Amino acid sequence: MPSNPTYWDYLHLPELLDLQGGLEGDEDQLLTDELHFIVVHQVFELWFKLVLRELRLARDHMAAPEVPEEHVPHVVHHLRRVAQIVHLCASQFAIMETLTPQDFLAFRDKLIPSSGFQSFQMRELEAVLGLDPAQRVDSGFGDPMAAIRKLGEGSPGGALAVAHLDRANAEQSVRAAVHDWLYRTPIHGSSPGDPDDDAVVAGFVEAYMDSAAVRAEATRARLVDAGVMEAEAAERKFASSLAQNRAFMRAEGVEDGGRTRRLRAAILFIESYRELPLLAWPRALLDIIVEVEEALVLFRSRHARMVERIIGRRVGTGGSAGVDYLDKTTKYRIFTELWAVRTVLLPRSAVPPLEGGSTYGFAQPEAP
């Protein structure tokens, strides 16, 4: 790059604008619709590149053995950008939709077997965020990771794809780093390793769930009084959801030395006492993580609707069942604990009183 670069030097425009050729030999006859198709996909992949960089920076901050308070706003900053980009990507499908079904069919078959299924950056993004491979649904075609590896054999592009996947699978995910950090969160002023920590965490969870039971009883009675639910059905429904919520918060059946119970309690704690100075940024962090995941789910749904509009229910060029497969992927959730805790949350007035408030930079009178 020259030392006083022009706009076109700095952005490598000559190279960039020369990358939309289509398949070898047909550069000159490229249809306008096909150019549109290629440009839209390339723009997505550029956004994915930036998203991956931002996610890794966020993860690196969170992966520190101790995350300094002042680093949390940096993480929120990186994830805010990620959320905006993913929202933008979802809205970009409207541009793709200016391609009519018939005009797409004019060049669709020559793409085979290429497909967004092989977007290694999308797979990398899922792995860096921490999608559990066990959640992957049957595409009717096979494991997308294995498909990329197989197609990648023996070509430079394929080697690059495999290198991206290997790197992503070997590193710590955002989910794992956030979980480690949540696990260490002080609850009522107590941290892991403190003599009574188990009892403090259990006490917080039980007090919270007792309050939830009182609250649920009031809601149940109102629903029955208003004629919305039959008394018996309401009784059954509320008792079963309360039992489920308690079991979830106690992490019943999870044998990991109380780790899952503690990190779930930490999410509940941060959400419940979010006005405390030391918890305000952690709360903002949990919220932006949920927004990133929500944006990703909307991206998947928006893509599926666009696909349905353009190709109907045909088999995809990658060989999957098409829209039916894509709709199933909208069920994926990476930050399952953050979503699940939302079902348990209480309004501020019903939250048990805070203990050990000074730990969080708050001079509130302590509970008697």
Question: Toward ligand HEM, which CB reaches closer, 130 or 319?
Answer: 319
Which one of 159-167, 179-187, 207-215, 321-329 is the stretch in contact with ligand HEM (CB under 6 A)?
A: 321-329
319 near ligand HEM, rule: CB under 6 A = yes
Question: Toward ligand HEM, which CB reaches closer, 45 or 210?
Answer: 45
CA–CA distance, 151 with 165 (Å, rounded to integer): 13
Residues in region 256-315 near ligand HEM by CB under 6 A: 303, 307, 310-311
> Cβ 342 to ligand HEM, closest distance in Å?
24
Which residues 6+ apart lie within 8 Å of 285 measured at CB? 72, 75, 76, 79, 178
Interface residue with ligand HEM, options 119, 190, 245, 260 (CB under 6 A): 119
Query: Which residue's structure tokens are 């933008």?
Result: 88
104 near ligand HEM, rule: CB under 6 A = yes
> Cβ 32 to ligand HEM, closest distance in Å?
14
Interface residue with ligand HEM, options 51, 83, 99, 263 (CB under 6 A): 99
122 near ligand HEM, rule: CB under 6 A = yes
326 near ligand HEM, rule: CB under 6 A = yes
Q: Would you state the structure tokens that stand for residue 235, as one six-digit string?
A: 């009784």
The binding track of 29-68 with respect to ligand HEM, each residue x by CB under 6 A or -, is -----------xx--x------------------------
Q: Would you state the structure tokens that stand for residue 367, as one six-digit string?
A: 């509970």
Distances (CA, A) of 162 to 119, 124, 357: 11, 10, 49
Interface residue with ligand HEM, options 201, 316, 344, 351 (CB under 6 A): 316
Decide: 249 and 265 in contact? Cβ < 8 Å. Answer: yes
Q: Which residues pair with 187 in a beta bridge?
A: 190
Helices (H), the chain: 7-10, 13-16, 32-62, 72-96, 101-108, 120-129, 144-152, 156-170, 174-183, 197-225, 231-249, 259-272, 277-311, 323-329, 336-341
Give burial (CB, 10 Å; 0-12/13-18/19+) of 286: buried
Decide: 266 and 182 in contact? Cβ < 8 Å. Answer: yes
318 near ligand HEM, rule: CB under 6 A = yes
Which positions lie near ligand HEM, rule CB under 6 A?
Answer: 40-41, 44, 96, 99, 104, 115-117, 119, 122, 144, 303, 307, 310-311, 316-320, 322, 325-326, 329
